[in-house]
Amino acid sequence: MFHRFAFVSAVTLLCAACASTEFQAWEGRNSVVEGRGGTRKVVDGMDIWTFGDPPRRFKVLGIIQENRPGGRIPMAQMKHDIVAKARESGGDAVTLVSSQRQLAGYYTSGEATAYGYGNFASAYGSSTTIPLTRNTATFVVIKYL
């Protein structure tokens, strides 16, 4: 049992290292927009607009492409990584443009034990199957005006 826990923990930590948060600067005209409103969450002191956009004027600074495994640990860190990248890029907030989850496969682990004595035998076992997913998301980094 301990070996299975250690293996799953090691795989989780390795997958967390597979996350990438990439910023690309926006170049072009019409980078100043008048928002209409929406819903937001505040993470680490920064607005994350999940539906719609801020009800005020803002400038588009760039796009963040986010790609990471879909486990609980990597996903728990995602919004914090987005906020850190947006701050590093000079942004005041981000708006969610798209988010997708894709099934990449399954991980199955099992064990069984059997006993035999004379003409009598018994066995028992268990297994666990975990879906492996991959998440991609796109955020727009904005500066309030």
The dihedral region occupied by 50, where left means phi > 0, alpha psi between -120 and 50, and beta the remainder, is alpha
| Domains of the chain as residue ranges with CATH | 2-106+125-144 (3.30.70)
| Residue, of 6 and 65, whose pLDDT is higher | 65
Residue 16, SS3?
helix
Q: Give 62-91 pLDDT, tens digit per residue.
A: 999 999 888 888 888 999 999 999 999 999
Tens of pLDDT along 111-135?
Answer: 999 999 988 999 999 999 988 889 9
How sure is the predictor about 17, in pLDDT bands with cuts at 50, 70 and 90?
low
For the entire predicted model, the pTM comes to: 0.73
